[in-house]
């Protein structure tokens, strides 16, 4: 269905199973699609592709309701679909969220009509992909009554793509999908990418890296140096952005741009970016107007400020609200939103406490169109982290949860690691913000300007993700952002069946996905709360891929007598940033969940856990269990040889071989490190702790 070279991912639209084919043909061979907005063009194209594949015959797309046909699809807004839409209460449709949709089987003038309607055209796009998903999954469609609205208003993919050399920071799927040199010339791949995103309900994309300036680079660029992300806001480059916005608009997806806080200095001859200076505010206003003149439905800006070398309001002794608001006020008249990242830390003793200490006091200070974008955990997308204390601590500020779809710390593009269970754990976490039963997902849901942003994973590789199985994470991100109540297994099952077909192979792949995250936690961390023990050197391939615990004493706190970081009141006090009863639970090693124990506590190596096993022995056991699990997953994959196409089988099999090797490298490095510090042998006599 895609340009031949590229993988179809989950939009394969293979011929429907015989037990469904006849019904699908009776109900969907004919489709009346209203001719309203650009989105309807995308809807028609997707129906042609999808129905063409699923029905194994060319669908007949009408510009008016067909007569004397057994069945037909009717897709359009309540007004356009009149009089068919009178079978549906228009108030019910108008009451839906803009991205929401309704699909209902009705009888109209003797035909079985499947009405797909929505309050806005974007909903028609999401609804069409939903209907095609049901058919791809072989679901019955003859008695539909679906009303679906996204839980999160904003469901955004953040790209960390650099314009120069098309390099993607923490990208493991080849060069950037965006050809900035050639833009505004378009290529087909952009539309195919927009289809993938829209098919899982994503409604926003930020196209460039939040590191808009190469840290440490002084002054504006000279002609020779590579161009940087901050330059995308320069007038000469805006047509590139506008061209991309045109592609994504057709699929109901708004475009965002990461901008540098000091753009007034970098992109013009102002000598200050001080947010309280009138000429700085005027600069942002002019720039916003220039952007919206070109892109009326532009989503807004994303800013990383005072973080990892990026410039920010601290450079002018201003706080983050002052820094954000000058940009937000420029966007407000155009309906734009500013996503201001809370990923701010410096050489503070305990990095974990900083975001809360920086942002909680600013609750209610941010302009109404600012969303404070918070990483799921207090460190940095580790295999497992506790949930950030900022969730539940800023009731008067629009919040966004930032997740990482690309697996920077979970094996990058090589290890199979399905992250939806991690994200479920975050979104289901009860913050007690409003008393018991106030999970993160509820804090984020149903509020304009709030939602979830995921750090992107795609690159220009034909398989899009660097690893065929990692497509499940982009699919899962979208589905979960739309409906956080969906189950991890349910989502993995949907993805597997659409990508590899139903049947035994699908079952095996589903199991592999569902067991992959725990395995990753075990061999990368030892599974009881340690984290951030990766190589951080210059070698790009090894960066954050290889183990190097010796580099991070301030994270694991390993000493001769024990290990772990004391974040109790006696230590950094991070546990106290949570609401009760969570704070008390984490504060006490007896009640702290074992999977987070050494994140909150520094304990003796021979400290006995609930089942009597010592801390060091548990670390050894989990590291070994992680490797055994990966070996088991590889064996299962190898059992699929001949059952799935050679290209994908071979690709994944090769990566599983490296996955096992690398898991062993982590196990042996961590166990040697624990043994070196504790001097305590592994009870099972397994090297290296012997």
Packing angle between helix 121-136 and helix 188-199, nearest 10 degrees? 80
Choice between 309 and 639, CB closer to ligand GCW: 309
- Of the residues 79, 86, 279, 308, only one is catalytic, namely 308
Q: Which is nearer to ligand GCW, 34 or 404 (by Cβ)?
A: 404
Q: Please provide the size of the chain in residues.
A: 690
Structure tokens at 368: 């109404």
132 near 13, Cβ under 8 Å?
A: yes
With beta carbons less than 8 A apart as the criterion, state whether 675 and 688 touch: yes
Task: Tell me how far apart the alpha carbons of residues 612 and 316 are, in angstroms, rounded to a whole number.
Answer: 54
CA gap 485, 504 in Å, rounded: 27
User: Helices in 163-305 by DSSP H: which ranges?
Assistant: 188-199, 238-249, 263-266, 278-294
Beta-strand (E) ranges in 140-237? Answer: 145-148, 154-158, 204-206
Complex with ligand GCW: residue 155 or 351, whichever CB lies closer: 351
Q: Which residues contact 530 (CB under 8 A, 6 or more apart)?
A: 555, 556, 563, 564, 598, 599, 619
**Complex with ligand GCW: residue 216 or 435, whichever CB lies closer:** 216
> Phi first, then psi: what are they for 72, rounded to 5°?
-160, 160
Instruction: State the nearest-atom distance from the C-beta of 342 to ligand GCW, in Å.
Output: 10
Which residue among the candidates 92, 112, 380, 511 is catalytic per the annotation? Answer: 380
Q: For residue 101, what is the enclosing H or E element?
A: strand 101-108
| Closer Cβ to ligand GCW, 225 or 536, answer by number | 536
User: Could you tell me the sign of the dihedral formed by the alpha carbons of 372, 205, 136, 39, in that order?
Assistant: positive
Whether 228 sits among the annotated catalytic residues: the reply is no
Nearest distance in Å: CB 404, ligand GCW: 7
Shortest CB 312 distance to ligand GCW, Å: 12
Measured from the CB of residue 160, what is the shortest distance to ligand GCW in angstroms? 5
Rounded Cα gap, residues 134 and 337, in angstroms = 34
Nearest approach, Cβ of 658 to ligand GCW (angstroms)?
A: 21
Element spanning 323, H or E: helix 320-331
Residue 511 is a catalytic residue: no
Q: 380 catalytic, yes or no?
A: yes
Q: What are phi and psi of 533, to 5 degrees?
A: -120, 40
CB of residue 211 vs ligand GCW: minimum separation in angstroms? 5
Q: Output the smallest distance, CB 251 to ligand GCW, in A.
A: 26
Nearer to ligand GCW, 310 or 617 (CB): 310
Catalytic pick among 80, 254, 329, 408: 408
Looking at the Cβ atoms of 380 and 442, the one nearer to ligand GCW is 380
Binding site for ligand GCW (CB under 6 A): 160, 169-170, 210-211, 304, 308, 343, 380-381, 408
H helices present in 29-157, as ranges: 38-54, 90-94, 121-136
Give me the active site residues, please: 308, 380, 408
């Amino acid at each position: 269905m895609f340009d031949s070279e590229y993988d179809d991912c989950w939009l394969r639209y293979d011929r429907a199973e015989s037990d469904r084919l006849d019904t699908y043909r009776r109900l969907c061979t004919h489709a009346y699609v209203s001719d309203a907005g650009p989105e309807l063009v995308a809807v028609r194209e997707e129906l042609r592709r999808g129905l063409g594949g699923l029905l194994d015959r060319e669908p007949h797309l009408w510009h008016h309701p067909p007569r004397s046909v057994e069945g037909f699809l009717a897709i359009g807004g309540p007004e356009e679909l009149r009089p068919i839409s009178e079978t549906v209460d228009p108030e019910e449709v108008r009451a839906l969220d803009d991205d929401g949709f309704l699909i209902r089987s009705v009888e109209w003038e003797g035909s079985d009509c499947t009405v797909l309607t929505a309050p806005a055209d974007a909903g028609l796009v999401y609804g069409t992909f939903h209907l095609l998903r049901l058919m791809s999954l072989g679901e019955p469609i003859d008695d539909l009554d679906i009303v679906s609205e996204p839980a999160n208003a904003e469901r955004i993919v953040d790209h960390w793509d650099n314009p120069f050399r098309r390099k993607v920071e923490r990208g493991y799927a080849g060069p950037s999908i965006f050809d900035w040199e050639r833009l505004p010339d378009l290529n087909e791949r952009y539309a195919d990418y927009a289809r993938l995103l829209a098919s899982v309900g994503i409604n926003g994309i930020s196209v460039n890296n939040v590191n808009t300036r190469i840290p440490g680079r002084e002054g504006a660029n000279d002609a020779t140096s590579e161009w940087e992300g901050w330059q995308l806001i320069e007038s000469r480059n805006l047509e590139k952005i506008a061209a991309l916005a045109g592609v994504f608009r057709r699929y109901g997806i708004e475009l965002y741009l990461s901008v540098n806080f000091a753009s007034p200095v970098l992109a013009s001859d102002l000598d200050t970016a001080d947010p309280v200076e009138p000429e700085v505010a005027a600069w942002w206003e002019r720039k916003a107007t220039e952007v919206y003149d070109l892109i009326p439905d532009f989503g807004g800006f994303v800013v990383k400020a005072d973080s990892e070398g990026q410039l920010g309001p601290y450079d002018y002794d201003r706080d983050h609200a002052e820094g954000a608001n000058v940009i937000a006020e420029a966007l407000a008249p155009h309906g734009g939103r500013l996503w201001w990242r809370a990923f701010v830390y410096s050489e503070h003793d305990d990095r974990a406490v900083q975001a809360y200490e920086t942002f909680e006091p600013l609750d209610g200070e941010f302009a109404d169109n600012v969303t404070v974008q918070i990483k799921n955990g207090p460190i940095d997308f580790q295999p497992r982290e506790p949930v950030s204390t900022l969730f539940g601590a800023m009731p008067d500020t629009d919040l966004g949860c930032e997740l990482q779809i690309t697996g920077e710390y979970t094996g990058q593009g090589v290890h199979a690691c399905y992250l939806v269970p991690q994200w479920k754990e975050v979104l289901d976490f009860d913050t007690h913000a409003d008393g018991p039963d106030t999970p993160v997902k509820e804090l984020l849901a149903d509020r304009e300007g709030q939602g979830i942003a995921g750090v992107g994973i795609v690159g220009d590789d034909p398989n899009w993700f660097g690893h065929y199985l990692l497509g499940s994470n982009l699919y899962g991100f979208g589905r979960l952002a739309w409906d956080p109540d969906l189950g991890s297994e349910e989502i993995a099952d949907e993805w597997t069946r659409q990508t590899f077909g139903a049947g035994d192979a699908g079952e095996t792949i589903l199991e592999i996905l569902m067991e992959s995250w725990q395995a990753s936690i075990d061999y990368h961390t030892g599974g009881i709360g340690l984290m951030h023990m990766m190589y951080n050197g210059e070698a790009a391939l090894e960066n954050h891929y290889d183990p190097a615990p010796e580099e991070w004493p301030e994270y694991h706190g390993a000493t001769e007598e024990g290990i772990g970081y004391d974040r109790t009141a006696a230590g950094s006090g991070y546990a106290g940033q949570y609401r009760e009863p969570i704070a008390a639970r984490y504060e006490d090693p007896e009640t702290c969940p074992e999977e987070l124990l050494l994140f909150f506590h520094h304990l003796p190596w021979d400290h006995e856990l609930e089942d009597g096993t010592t801390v060091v022995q548990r670390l050894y056991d989990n590291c070994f269990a992680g490797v055994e699990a990966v070996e088991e997953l590889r064996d299962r994959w190898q059992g699929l040889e001949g059952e799935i196409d050679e290209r994908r089988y071979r690709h994944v099999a090769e990566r599983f071989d490296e996955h096992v090797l690398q898991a062993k490298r982590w196990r042996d490095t961590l166990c040697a490190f624990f043994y070196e510090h504790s001097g305590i042998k592994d009870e099972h006599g397994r090297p290296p702790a012997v």
